[in-house]
Structure 1
Amino acid sequence: MRNGPALLDLLRGHHRRIAAAVALTLAGSLFGLAQPLLVRNIIEATGAGRPFTATVIMLVSLFAAQALVQAVAGFVLARAGEHIVLGIRLNLVHHLLRLTMPCHDTYRVGDLISRAGTDSFALRRLAADGCADAVTGVIGLGGAVAVLIWLDPVLFLVVAVLVAVGLGTLVPVLRGMRQAALGSQQATGELAGDLDRALSALRTVRANRAEHRETQRIGAQARAAYEHGVRTARLSAAVGPASQLAVDGSFLVVLLVGGVRVSTGASSLADLVAFLLYISYLAVPISSVFQALSAIQESSGALHRINEILALPIETDEPVPVAAPASAVSRSTSSTSATGREPAPVLEFRDVWFGYDTRQPVLRGVSFRLPDRGHIALVGGSGSGKSTIFALAERFYDPDRGEILLDGVDIRKLRRSECRAKLGFVEQHSPVFHGTLRENLTYGAPEATADDLGRIVALTNLEDLVRRLPDGLDSPLGERGIRLSGGQRQRIAVARALLARPALLLLDEPTAHLDPVNEAALRQAIEQVSRDCALLVAAHRFSTVRDANQIVVLDEGRVAAVGDHEDLLVRSPYYRRLASEWRLAPSNSPP
């Protein structure tokens, strides 16, 4: 990836701040460039017996002005750098939260966090300091070169040769810095990923006495980052001395050659003093150019990693043009209430094929319909595709073949936000966010009233939890709801989904962590909710499956049977086997 265009993209929107800092820095450089000429005039005036008080005052004024302008320029540049880091982080956060699910399936969470944190901060030096140093260094160097050529072209050639030699020695150094910096950033990302892996399952780590192994794993990444960092520091350390030696060497050679030229009358003492002063001033722009090259190489790894993420596809909220077959259109319109027949199903799968890897389909021609009211159970063995059906309904993925209709409309023709607004989704592990109970419950419905909250709290049997928490609904729940039981987290997730009043509620094992009392309460809540909307419940428990109005049986990605519990026990051998394994069927069920 080329750094030039990528760097310009990062600076877009910040060019005014960078330009202001560069202009102030150039003004300071111009004040500095004028000072040796004033020193030469003072020396010449002293030799000629002319007054030079005004020149001294001007010299002091320029010196003070240079210091003030450079201080202001430093602040403006630092502020611009912070603005750039803020812009990069906001852009990354926006992008990360909208990456397609296949991208999130590929990248580690800790590594993505590292790119938004560590890598974005590393770009501060590249985008602000590196850019400003390059511009001011080149312009300042050009101004100093012009004056040096004007003062003494012969001495300038000596300086140019020495500086060119110094720059030539840095070319391999700068190349090595790029690889070392990229390795350091990648190792830091892996470290963050491994640390997130261990901390997110800390109880499992300790229960398996794996602290030492995890420390070794994370330590290996820390040592790799250290090695790359040391290599980067070693190479970076050569940049400053190389530029300084080039200037110091030039100073000594000019002092020697210039002294000879003054003694032979080829040059004047005033010109030699001015030339030597300009060489000392030349150190600043030369150092700026070298440091800019160093910053670009050091930060190139972070730039590469950030642009790698920004190049990944994100979810859009725009409908996807889909040319539905004529037969599908006729079926859709024939089932709508406009014709006086029963309304379109709230959700319908039509010959849906899908695989996370297209070579290994998870769903194979799945077709079923959900009415706009009622409790539908989705059952099947592990890996049969239940969670995948939920993921497709929520448009986390799109099917490889077939159609998914919501209220009779292909969901790809709907905005994702419009589609998801009609659905409530409760994941199997029931995530709880860091924050208060109120913030968790209203996460999907921030406009919910106190009455709405009270109704849902009662419906999901959370009243006892609210009473026991020290601050009621405003009590913090800890990181990932660690202070709650599994059943409490599950009921909070169900309440959060119900508060948004969805047309279809997707529940993935909603009773998995509930005791019999709370399970009975949730079953009652499900029964009440099913009168107002449709529920699709992935279930293994007898109570949940038995109470369903309809059961869809999945077997290896296909719909094996559809019916109610008693009906399926009679005509579906696969369902009878599932019922026996889960102890769902009565002892006198048909063989």
Structure 2
Amino acid sequence: MTPDAATVTPAGRPRTGPQEVRRVLRGHGRRITVASVLAVAGSALALAQPLLVKRVIEEAGAGIGTGRTIGLLIVFFLAQAAVAGLARYVLVRTGEGIVLGLRLNLIGHLLRLPMRTYDRHRTGDLISRTSADSTALRLLISEGFTDALTGSIGLVGVVALMAWLDWVLFLIVLAVVALGSLVVASVLRGIERSSLHAQQATGAMTAELERALGAIRTVRASRAEHRETERIGEQARSAYAQSVHVGALDAVVSPAIMLTINGSFLLVLLIGGMRVAGHDGSVADLAAFLLYMLYLMSPIGAVFQALSTMRQGLGALRRISEILDLPGEPDTAARPRRALPAPPPDVPVLEFRDVWFGYEPHRPVLRGVSFQVPPRGHVALIGSSGVGKSTVFALAERFYDPDSGRVRFEGRDVAAVGRAEHRARIGLVEQHAPVLYGTLRENLLYAAPDAGRDELDRAIELAQLTELVARLPQGLDTEAGEHGMALSGGERQRIALARSLLVRPSLLLLDEPTAHLDAVNEAALRRSIRSIAQECALLVIAHRSSTIRAADRIVVLDGGRVIATGTHDELLDSSDHYRFLARAQQAGETVAG
């Protein structure tokens, strides 16, 4: 994605700034209309005041009493202040509501993107689009759009009345304003471009910081704090340079506006005064026109400043639109687990039929993989690193869909079942076993928030967590820490196991569940696995020989293909590759012991 690339819709058409703004404002028409009506009313009350001043001057010159007109002027003045304040409040509230809706939409969309999208984008940059970019967008909506709307309404009214009062003086003002507008317009284009670059640099900085903090122990152990500071600082300096450039360009806008307004005011005062002195105009008309000139300063300044603010916000809006335009993962809405007809007892819970898949085109990871997992029992998936074991798990969970072939679950093609409904029947325990920030209870109930106390106790017991809960200072309400760092690796893995068991899955996927366990806990977990295998199917990525031998059936992967299946003893007799893996594993465990 190039820095200057325009946002592109799914249909391939570039999305322009106005199109993006219209999409953001969609659904808020009623509030915007109310605020616009109030703004029009406030502008009308303001525009009537110079005419009342003109009338006061004319009445005083004719010797007529002015008290009634002055009173009406005071009423209009106070009413205009009240209505203008209310209009601005409604506009600001509407703008904040728009930003809130966009943030909620962006958060929900980010959590539902296909896995391939996460593979291509850095997490820190995605977070930046939700935080820093949406904050910049707030200026576009809350301030830029508000000022543009109120300023435009006032500007139209002032221009119409100035042209009606004295079209010659109006043409002079128009010429000066047009000249100033040309200067401002040329600056605004640079502001939008530099603002987009600044937002991109900020996103890159956030991504680099997230990268370093996510591996802070490795950073410290490698004494790489200075290098990481320089690496992140490079992006920070880039964001600084672009932001300073935006500020420099924005600094040109305000003087240009002031020169435009003050220059036109001085010309009107000079030419209008000469005309009055030559008896070619009235003092009342000149006073009213000059008052409108004063009134003109506010809407012109508001419109020009709004355009500058909006140009800065458009860079953020385009970055947000880039994400919103990405297609989300279909059918992931949360829904209750449906009571589907139970499959016949002999139907595999999971079946791969000639499955081909690659993360990149023309580079398959799985090459015609076929195997079955029975509805009960323990199946081990083994092979060297990089042969596709984790990819099998990803396809079973429908994080990806196969390029060809079929994945069937409980006798049904997974493509015919909603993703959320499908995932509700599968438990997943990853090797690194992520633990979220929060209490131990919140982590255990994450996949099944409505689980009862008995179900929770059962899962804790099966996952060998009873002792851990008993010795924690606040039991289940103890904080797990950021990324679960208050817990050991084995404890995090058992928490992930208990979390998966609470949903009572038909299939439980375990990625090397004994990797972080000592011998005592490993033996206890093997007993749990035997118990769990009586209730549901287990598919386990295994490397330890003890875990492999405990399996009822073993599937051997090599080169992205299934090359052998059977029990431990059967494979020792029939598969040279399995014997090689078994000897290598036993040698490794002997050395480790």
TM-score (norm. length: structure 2): 0.93
**1:18–1:128 CA contact under 8 A, matched in 2:** no
- The equivalent position to 1:376 in structure 2, one of 375, 379, 386, is 379
Aligned amino acid, residue 520 of structure 2 = V
Q: Deviations over 1:56-94 (max 9, x none)?
A: 111122222222222222322221222111101100011
- The equivalent position to 1:538 in structure 2, one of 541, 553, 560, is 541
Aligned amino acid, residue 499 of structure 1 = L
> What residue number does 2:571 align with?
568
Cα distance 1:465–1:313, how it changes in 2: closer, same or farther (>3 A)?
same
**2:332–2:420 CA contact under 8 A, matched in 1:** no
**2:39–2:153 CA contact under 8 A, matched in 1:** no
Aligned amino acid, residue 179 of structure 2 = V
Aligned length: 568
Shift of 1:28: 1.9
Matched, 1:108 2:111: no
Identity %: 57
Aligned amino acid, residue 48 of structure 1 = A
Distance 1:15 1:203 in 2: 51
- The equivalent position to 2:104 in structure 1, one of 90, 97, 112, is 90
Distance 2:517 2:28 in 1: 54
Matched, 1:514 2:520: no
> What residue number does 2:253 align with?
239
Matched, 1:270 2:284: yes
- The equivalent position to 2:420 in structure 1, one of 412, 417, 421, is 417
Distance 1:283 1:530 in 2: 78
**347-356 vs 223-232, which deviates more?**
223-232
> What residue number does 1:221 align with?
235
Shift of 1:586: 12
Distance 1:126 1:491 in 2: 48
**142-151 vs 125-134, which deviates more?**
125-134
Distance 2:452 2:152 in 1: 62
Aligned amino acid, residue 397 of structure 1 = Y
Cα distance 1:422–1:368, how it changes in 2: closer, same or farther (>3 A)?
same
Matched, 1:408 2:411: yes
Distance 1:418 1:44 in 2: 79
Matches within 5 A, 1:522-561: 522-561=525-564
Aligned amino acid, residue 91 of structure 1 = N
Distance 2:194 2:404 in 1: 45
Distance 2:163 2:500 in 1: 76
Instruction: Provide the secondary structure at the position in 1 that maps to 2:586.
Output: coil
Matched, 1:477 2:480: yes
Shift of 1:379: 0.2
Shift of 1:289: 1.7
- The equivalent position to 1:502 in structure 2, one of 499, 502, 505, is 505
Shift of 1:164: 0.4
- The equivalent position to 2:392 in structure 1, one of 389, 393, 401, is 389
Shift of 1:418: 1.6
Aligned amino acid, residue 178 of structure 1 = E
TM-score (norm. length: structure 1): 0.94
Instruction: Provide the secondary structure at the position in 1 that maps to 2:516.
Output: coil
Q: Deviations over 1:297-345 (max 9, x none)?
A: 11111111000000111111189xxxxxxxxxxxxxxxx73xxxx6211
Shift of 1:585: 11
Distance 1:247 1:318 in 2: 56
> What residue number does 1:60 align with?
74
Distance 2:531 2:146 in 1: 65
> What residue number does 1:355 align with?
358
**235-244 vs 538-547, which deviates more?**
235-244
> What residue number does 1:322 align with?
none
- The equivalent position to 2:93 in structure 1, one of 40, 60, 79, is 79
**1:318–1:414 CA contact under 8 A, matched in 2:** no
- The equivalent position to 2:48 in structure 1, one of 26, 29, 34, is 34
> What residue number does 2:139 align with?
125
Give RMSD over aligned pairs. 1.7
Distance 2:116 2:588 in 1: 39
- The equivalent position to 2:369 in structure 1, one of 366, 371, 387, is 366
**1:353–1:366 CA contact under 8 A, matched in 2:** yes
Distance 1:50 1:314 in 2: 73
Matched, 1:162 2:176: yes
**1:375–1:537 CA contact under 8 A, matched in 2:** yes
Matched, 1:458 2:472: no
The gaps in structure 1 that reach 5 residues or longer are 320-335
Instruction: Provide the secondary structure at the position in 2 that maps to 1:510.
Output: coil
The gaps in structure 2 that reach 5 residues or longer are 1-14, 334-342
Instruction: Provide the secondary structure at the position in 1 that maps to 2:428.
Output: strand
Distance 2:506 2:397 in 1: 13
